[in-house]
Amino acid sequence: MTSTDEKPRRAAFLLNAHAKSVTKVILKRLQDIIPKDDLYVSHNLKEAHQSIDNIVNRGYAYLFCGGGDGTVVLAINYLNKYGKAHPLMPQPKLGVLRLGTGNAIARYLGALAPEHDIKAILAGKPIKPVALSMIETSSGQQTPFAGIGYDGELMNDFESVKEVFFESPFRRFFSSVLGYAVAGIFKTIPRQFNRKLPNIRVNSSHPAYRIKEVNGSDEEVFIETGQLLYDGVAPIICVGTIPFVGYGMTLFPFANRRPGYMHLRVSAVPLSVCLSNLYPSIWHGHFRHKKLFDFLVKDVTIESEESLPYQLGGDVMGYKKQLYFKISSAPVAMVALDRKAAPTTFPSQPLMTPLI
């Protein structure tokens, strides 16, 4: 419960101190902007959970996370768990700062530079609700994108490349599409020589749609319940409810095409072909290929002959032979700055203004 001697607060800010973009310089700049009582900095999972507990108990209307997609996914899942354990406790609506290495969710919500957005939030600028559909795993975790295969492996390699150049003058270049290409060419592709790819089976227990290119346009082909969606070699299998993954790559161009469905992408395209078409074709979601299979599904079971690298919201999760995903029963209530709203006059202490 909110303390009786404390008025409801407008916004709390939770930063992941271990996110590569949250440097000491940036943290100091943000500390100069955000009131001390409203800033929470976590150095580990335990501190992050404790911070969220404190934020909920203090009655904040909004919680803005900074630290990349992994930080946001952590907050979504912890708030979901907290809400089930305390169903009568009001929860803050979740927003995102563009402060991380991935920022797919921040990009989707229209976040700009963190200092700009924080100043706007503290000044009382209008904030709009955004319902974000999520993917749910068999263990109940929620995420806007996940996958197994080369995408998980390439993300691992990309992280290692960024680590090498993090303190160098070339950091900006190797944290972009160039970093993906370098990781793929010099780390991921060489590892594939003489590797026998496993067979993959993909099923859905609900009606689905196959997206096929017909006369230059993408059309939906209905698939009845119980049909096998894919059976064969597929080094990349991924799902998403938002178009973007890290750095704005449009990996799921059909994510918002049909409400109540997620985009399933199964690729048997050689990795060398993917890398040679990485920009701009794949990066902007225009790439099509006879060995690239796109579906709209409500749920999906993925089975592999051998364990493959698995990523959840951009975070590496080990290796899996079988995965189950479904569209969540209800979207996550999130928020974003309403940049089209007319200016609003707030009282002189907007931080202490309860939200309607």
User: Are both 319 and 208 inside the same structural domain?
Assistant: yes
- Please tell me whether residue 334 adopts helix, strand or coil conformation: strand
**How does pLDDT run across 129-151, given as a tens digit for each residue?**
999 999 999 999 999 999 987 66
Pairing mode, if any, of strands 62-66 and 11-16?
A: parallel
User: Are both 306 and 240 inside the same structural domain?
Assistant: yes
Domain CATH code at residue 247: 2.60.200.40
**How does pLDDT run across 312-350, given as a tens digit for each residue?**
998 878 889 999 999 999 999 999 999 887 655 444 444
Residue 174 inside a domain? The answer is: no
List the Cα angle 14/283/162 in 5-degree steps: 55
User: Are both 258 and 310 inside the same structural domain?
Assistant: yes
Residue 173 inside a domain? The answer is: no
pLDDT at 172: 58
Residue 88 inside a domain? The answer is: yes
Residue 204 inside a domain? The answer is: yes
User: Are both 275 and 289 inside the same structural domain?
Assistant: yes
**How does pLDDT run across 239-285, given as a tens digit for each residue?**
999 999 877 889 999 999 999 999 999 999 987 888 789 889 999 99
- pLDDT confidence band for 354 (50 / 70 / 90): very low
Residue 185 inside a domain? The answer is: no
pLDDT at 350: 41
> Could you give the CA distance from residue 188 to residue 50 in angstroms, rounded to a whole number?
38
**How does pLDDT run across 6-44, given as a tens digit for each residue?**
555 799 999 998 776 677 888 999 999 999 999 999 999
Which H or E run contains 61? none
User: Are both 53 and 88 inside the same structural domain?
Assistant: yes
Bridge partners (DSSP) of residue 146 are 239, 312
Residue 26 inside a domain? The answer is: yes
For residue 8, which of 75, 52, 56 has the smallest C-alpha distance?
56
Give residue 67's domain range.
11-133+332-352
> Could you give the CA distance from residue 300 to residue 319 in angstroms, rounded to a whole number?
18
Q: Are 272 and 176 in contact (CB under 8 A)?
A: no
Q: Which residues contact 57 (CB under 8 A, 6 or more apart)?
A: 1, 2, 3
**Quick one: tokens of 289?**
């290929």
User: Are both 301 and 230 inside the same structural domain?
Assistant: yes
Residue 92 inside a domain? The answer is: yes
List the Cα angle 215/227/200 in 5-degree steps: 90
User: Are both 106 and 218 inside the same structural domain?
Assistant: no
DSSP characters over 124-146: T--EEEEEE--EEETTS-EESEE
**Quick one: tokens of 246?**
């890290």
User: Are both 124 and 35 inside the same structural domain?
Assistant: yes
Share of the chain above pLDDT 70, in %: 82
Ordered alpha helix ranges (H), the chain: 24-33, 45-57, 69-85, 104-108, 114-122, 150-165, 171-174, 177-183, 189-192, 271-276
Q: How many CA atoms lie within 13 A of 178 on its CB side?
A: 8
User: Are both 80 and 44 inside the same structural domain?
Assistant: yes
Residue 43 inside a domain? The answer is: yes
User: Are both 282 and 336 inside the same structural domain?
Assistant: no
Q: Are 181 and 287 in contact (CB under 8 A)?
A: no
Count of the separate structural domains present in the chain: 2
pLDDT at 5: 42
User: Are both 304 and 240 inside the same structural domain?
Assistant: yes
User: Are both 200 and 125 inside the same structural domain?
Assistant: no
> Could you give the CA distance from residue 181 to residue 247 in angstroms, rounded to a whole number?
13
pLDDT at 251: 93
Q: Which residues contact 347 (CB under 8 A, 6 or more apart)?
A: 353
Which DSSP letter does residue 88 get?
T
Q: Are 340 and 273 in contact (CB under 8 A)?
A: no
Q: Are 200 and 231 in contact (CB under 8 A)?
A: yes
Domain CATH code at residue 97: 3.40.50.10330
